[in-house]
Amino acid sequence: MKRILFVCLGNICRSPMAEGVFAKVAEERGLIPPLEFASAGTGSWHVGDPPDARAVAAARSRGVDISRQRARQVHVDDFDTYDLLIAMDEANVETLRAAAPEHHHAKIKLFLAFADGVSATEVPDPYYGGADGFSHALDLIEAASRGLADYVAGMSG
Ligand code: 4NP
């Protein structure tokens, strides 16, 4: 278990925040190296863009700098390259499953499946809402990042 790709729709809000928060949690746990991770979007609208300014500000308020990330779209090679593709919502899962060769479907997982004590199954898209949506998304992302770090640490012994 070495490579993780965080996936959302635009790759400018949720998956950049997930990549940044998970990086912090994984570093605190001493999991980097050997862990590698990145983020990507199922859509292409924002390829090359930095994260949304509201996502940058919300992450910064929790000690995470995501300002240097740049959006890219999921590519079919990613299903070979990554060991886990971590989706923010069910629509992301469906898009990934439709694009992935069947033998890679087990690599595609919902991020909140790793969040202990969280009943929500999806990180809601905060793009069309206000700052509170970004804060709520970060609460969920922090919980799921802790659980994913536990999972990865367990898998790698
Ligand atoms: P994200 O949010 O999937 O969390 O990055 C979105 C950002 C942009 C768009 C949709 C969702 N968009 O349609 O441009």
Encode pLDDT of 12-68 as tens digits: 999 999 999 999 999 999 988 889 999 999 999 999 999 999 999 999 999 999 999
> Is there a contact between 59 and 145 (Cβ–Cβ < 8 Å)?
no
pLDDT tier, 157 (very low <50, low <70, confident <90, very high otherwise): very low
Q: How far away, in angstroms, is 119 Cα from ligand 1 center?
A: 23
The reported pTM is 0.97
For residue range 103-154, what is the model confidence (pLDDT) as tens digits? 999 999 999 999 999 999 999 999 999 999 999 999 999 999 999 999 999 8
Element (H, E) at 99: helix 90-99
DSSP per-residue codes, 12-44: SSHHHHHHHHHHHHHHHTT-TTT-EEEEEESS-
Pocket of ligand 1 (CB under 6 A): 8-14, 41, 45-46, 125, 127
Q: How do residues 75-105 score in pLDDT, each as one tens digit?
A: 999 999 999 999 999 999 999 999 999 999 9
Matching residue, tokens 């069947």? 102
Q: Whose CA is nearest to atom 8 of ligand 1?
A: 10
Q: Give the span between the Cα atoms of 134 and 94, in whole angstroms.
A: 23
